[in-house]
Amino acid sequence: MRVALVTGSTSGIGEATVRRLAADGMTVAVHSRSTRDAGSALAAQLGGSYHQADLSDDAAAGALVPEVLAVHGRLDVLVNNAGISWPVPHADLDALTAADWRQLLDVNLIAPWLLCTAALPALREAGGCIVNVTSHAGVRPKGSSIAYAASKAALNHVTKLLAAALGPEVRVNAVAPGLVDTPLTESWTEAQNLWKTSSPMRRAAQPVDVADLISAVIHNSYLTGEVILLDGGLNLR
């Protein structure tokens, strides 16, 4: 049975993704930074495993894939979903510090790189794939902050570079959602109003919308090097 590791998978997009991949017949490795009880319960419900790691710590990020391999003996799919974000007005340059930049890049860019590196031998052996969950903000000049948008734009480019370097053994793609209804974004009133009034779909995405696209990307054995926008058509405006 194929094994999928999904980072940041105890809520929101990550939880919807492990549920979808388990329904697809995969064994799922559930990950979170701190929600051990929720993660353990979810993994037990889905017949998978739970793994705790703070991905802002290089050693912890580097140890996550070996831990999954020790439990399951293989890895077919890596979904780099974990990420952090908080609103900072783009024009308020003083409100975004060097420490903020480092924190965002550590979790949103460097941790996925470390996980890809650690997973590569197993993915090559399995003929597997990587899906990076990036953002509409990495494609358009939008997003919760300039540093967040830059971290996702960088991960989009890394996705393409890895796809070119690792094919045909390993496919690498990115799914780039716009606003998604999650606990993180429920207070983002301005963004909610933007999607409700300006996007052709007149709503934010639900986590299951993103999970369905991630599943489709995983199952398409010819697709690689793509950054797929999922923003309800807001990019058309």
Which residues are known to be catalytic? 148
Cα separation of 23 and 18, whole Å? Answer: 8
Rg from Cα positions in the chain: 17
* Phi, psi (rounded to 5 degrees) for 76: -105, -30
Cα separation of 140 and 99, whole Å? Answer: 24
Check residue 206 and report its DSSP letter.
Answer: P
* Phi, psi (rounded to 5 degrees) for 26: -90, 155
Give how far the C-alpha of residue 114 lies from the chain's centroid of Cα atoms, to the nearest Å. 14
Query: What is the spatial order of strands in the sheet that 77-80 belongs to?
Result: 49-52, 27-32, 3-6, 77-80, 129-133, 171-177, 227-230
DSSP H helices, the chain, are: 12-23, 36-46, 58-72, 98-105, 111-126, 146-166, 189-198, 207-219
**Burial status of residue 223 (CB atoms within 10 A of its CB: 0-12, 13-18, 19 or more):** middle
